[in-house]
Amino acid sequence: MNVLSIQSQVVYGHVGNSAAAFVLQRQGHAVWQVPTVLFSNHLGKPTFRGRAVPAEQARDLIQGLKELGYLDDVDMLLTGYLGTPDTARLAAELAGIIRTQKPSAIFACDPVMGDDDALYVKPDLAETIASDLVPIADVLLPNIFELARLTGRSVKDGAAALEAAQALQRAAGVKVLVATGVPAERPDRIAALALAGGKVHRAEAPRRKLRVSGTGDTFSALFTGRYVRDRDAAGALDFAMHGMDVICTATEKADADELMIVQTQSDWAKAR
């Protein structure tokens, strides 16, 4: 299937498209990448070079695809870090165009706003994601910080996460809502929830000690890559949690500074 992915991009490392593209390709999808920033590396390292990609440049790249008729063939639009409100509005516009051309296409939105109880995008971008993208997404993948912000609730445990996820799914009319980073009963484990078709599926994995970025981008690619093929949210969640456990276990063991996505591909890509 064909995936149009609008996210950040780096030369070194695995965040944004530089994580998601390989994960999706390894699952058999063609991935067309539109960068929202182009950096030498992610901002968690001591230094970086590069710059944000203006929304008009992203629009120009997409127009090139449209002129060749490629937008008619998109099976899934995936968004991650968007950078500016204008780029978020462009993504919303693009979702409408793709759905008009192919009603079966999916819009999967990772509403990247922040994590660890902190907003790391500007408030106007967070507001645009909430107003323009969340209500039109088919698949929404917030972490618990984003879930709390989008619902105005305190999300400190698994029960609160489930209640917030159910409230957001009802309010936004999202077909599939996946909440990540959910506290498990045991502090050494972490959980995720998938709400779809009136059912709730829960999966757990060990909590790892990592010094890397890109786990959310990688999880989103694992989940959506499986879901766009099978339309099975429970199966996609199990696949994504297994894949993240494989990747994070190897990364922790090696004390690596980037996720070991490529090195572990033969294990996480196995069908489950």
Q: List pLDDT tens digits, range 241-271.
A: 999 999 999 999 999 999 999 999 999 998 6
pTM of the model: 0.96
Domain 2-268 part of CATH 3.40.1190.20: yes
CA atoms within 13 Å, Cβ hemisphere of 59: 11
Q: What's the pLDDT score for residue 121?
A: 93
- Coil, strand or helix at 148: helix
* 64-112 pLDDT per residue, tens: 999 999 999 999 999 999 999 999 999 999 999 999 999 999 999 999 9
Across the range 170-187, mean pLDDT stands at 96
Mean pLDDT score of the chain: 96
Across the range 117-141, mean pLDDT stands at 96
Across the range 39-54, mean pLDDT stands at 93
| Lowest-pLDDT range of 93-102, 112-121, 179-188 | 112-121
Burial class (CB in 10 A: 0-12, 13-18, 19+), 115: middle
Q: What's the pLDDT score for residue 43?
A: 87
Q: What's the pLDDT score for residue 272?
A: 55
